[in-house]
Amino acid sequence: MKRENVLAGQVALVTGGSRGIGLAIAARLGEMGAKVSICARNVSALEKAASELQAAGIEVMTTQTDVTSEVQIPHLIRKTQQMLGPIDILVNNAGIGIFGPFHEQSAGDWDAIQDTNLKSVFLLCREAAPEMIRRKSGHIVNISSLAGKNTFANGAIYCASKWGLMGLTGCLAEELRVHGIRVSAICPGSVATDFSGQGAKDPAKMLQPDDVAHAVAALVTQAPGSFISEVQLRPTRKP
């Protein structure tokens, strides 16, 4: 059953929307009435996600996209605008992690993580912002991590990407707020997805993808006179 259609008529683009947190966010925004555009690199995963969303009565389109590509991002934005309409909500969710001793990691590891977790957000925001500025409205939500606030052993490259994302988010918020555009970061702890690796952690005590989706829903339904710049999200019990 659909939730109250508070986002009826709005268009949401969610990167990394084929599974895990991204799919949960796409489903929540669609249940709230938004038309949803999702992208990922894996075509079969996108098709499976689209089928799930459509079965729930959500209008959805998919685009195979490498979000690190400066060539592919404009195509994603144009296609979304042409098929669904101007983008009201951009959720930069796509991300990867490579963990281990920093001195055993390669320049290729560095580039892969920074390009996916940080550069892609810059590229997407740069492409989506002009239309939001023209319309004087919009929400940009960047899915960061508590790793963007804290450091830990074997997380050097990942933490660097998320600390950078927090800096980028803050600067975008200052630049775009004068245009009526709200830019926020959500910083979850460990979420029970394939990405987390989980290890010895108890999934039942970890955050769930729906917890992050709930935070996104709260951000995009704020009253127009204010915005929440950052959300730190932790499980009630430590995993």
User: Catalytic amino acids?
Assistant: 158
φ, ψ for residue 226, nearest 5 deg: -155, 170
Rounded to whole angstroms, the Cα distance separating 32 from 223 reads: 16
Cβ neighbours of residue 100 closer than 8 Å, sequence gap 6 or more: 154
Distance between CA atoms of residues 170 and 128, nearest Å: 17
Three-state DSSP at 89 gives strand
Rounded distance between C-alpha atoms, residue 33 and residue 35, angstroms: 7
Q: Burial of 46 by CB count in 10 Å (0-12 exposed, 13-18 middle, 19+ buried)?
A: buried
What DSSP state is assigned to residue 60?
E
Which is it for the CA torsion 151, 168, 71, 75, positive or negative?
A: positive
Considering only CA atoms, which of 236, 50, 174 is closest in space to residue 63? 50
